[in-house]
A and B are shown apart, each in its own frame.
Chain A
């Protein structure tokens, strides 16, 4: 059952019905009617059904440059199907990652651990970086992780 979409008072909070599905493989696009009250059809809305989606244990990863320890980025496939990752990049070259061979297939419920280190270059103070995970899904990029080295 799919429920819980819409809270009382919202445009689809009384009920939602009449689904129509566009199945593009990696995800579903579902159009539906939303009703805010028993006699008020508020409009047509959309839901995205995601079969293959990825998460991280830590959306923000901190690096203490002084102790030299590396960190691991933990990526997990929370979806029901396989996920093909074809690239992972980082905005600041001071962060180095130990990447797998691409394309990498992340199976359902599987986790991928990526060691990452920071080597200070010319910046001083805290240094930000953004890791972007790219997949073959139409929902791309899938994931961004924020890095801070201090």
Chain B
């Protein structure tokens, strides 16, 4: 069983065409004052067990946080909160709920949202009968997603690979006609890794074999800060056109 002693966030500047290099963060990160802004029960029974996996976006007027909401029965939904000042948050209800009889009937989680040409594209972890896949749905307003849901990335089903039995927790960017997605792979071991997949359609992704497999000591040697694995990637493009990533590192 995985034992997490310390988890922390690690920032790397990742250039996909050259070997990965890690540099010191460009930003000084300071804790925002006054504790958590969204706590369990923020939107009543549907998130009273846990609020997890935030994904933040600016919609032109407000900051939106999409997050995994877990209720007392363990049902996972994706819910939304908004704020114009980062202090006062407004509950906006359910963005996406599990759909009975489908590939996400057992839960939807880990929202990963991007806005392209008037559409909010929501990638999320879809669970059914123990299988985790990454799915996609889109919406014009981003408050509710009721259109057709599709699977965008499945496990590799290759025993030699880090994502042989499941994929989850995506983070996606779009630039120059190319979607690039980082995701967590599951292979039945406790040492999770992060992988890379690309797409030109945004609805079907192909994994890059051997590309950006971070985790299990990507940090540094034995007893490195991520010797226990890597998960929850967050990727974005900064104003100097660098692709940057934060991820959760696990250390034993």
Contacts and interface: CB of A to CB of B under 8 A. Distances in A.
A2 B236 contact: no
B: interface residue count bin: 35 or more
Interface of A: 1-3, 5-6, 11-12, 15-25, 27-34, 38, 41-51, 53, 78-81
B29 A31 contact: no
Of residues A30, A78, A80, which shows the largest number of chain B Cβ atoms within 10 Å of its Cβ? Answer: A30
Given A3-B8, A27-B27, A30-B56, 16 more contacts: A1-B225, A1-B249, A2-B25, A2-B246, A15-B8, A18-B54, A20-B234, A22-B63, A29-B63, A30-B246, A41-B52, A44-B36, A45-B35, A46-B37, A47-B31, A48-B30
26 contacts: A1-B11, A3-B8, A15-B8, A17-B9, A19-B234, A19-B248, A20-B54, A21-B56, A21-B236, A22-B56, A22-B57, A23-B236, A28-B27, A29-B63, A30-B9, A30-B29, A30-B246, A33-B51, A41-B51, A41-B52, A45-B32, A45-B37, A49-B29, A50-B30, A51-B28, A80-B26
> What is the predominant secondary structure among interface residues of chain B facing chain A?
strand
Given A1-B10, A18-B248, A42 B28 contact: no
Contacts of B52: 18, 33, 41, 44
Interface string B221-235: 000010000011010
Given A46-B32, A49-B27, A16 B246 contact: no
Contacts of A22: 56-58, 63
Contacts of A23: 236-239, 244
A15 B8 CA distance: 7
B8 A1 contact: yes
Given A11-B36, A31-B65, A34-B36, A17 B31 contact: no
Given A2-B10, A41-B50, A43-B35, A28 B29 contact: yes
A7 to B, nearest CB: 10
Of residues A3, A20, A23, A81, which shows the largest number of chain B Cβ atoms within 10 Å of its Cβ? Answer: A20
Given A1-B10, A2-B10, A29-B86, A44 B54 contact: yes
Interface in B1-40: 4, 6-11, 25-32, 35-40
A23 B58 CA distance: 10
Contacts of B247: 19
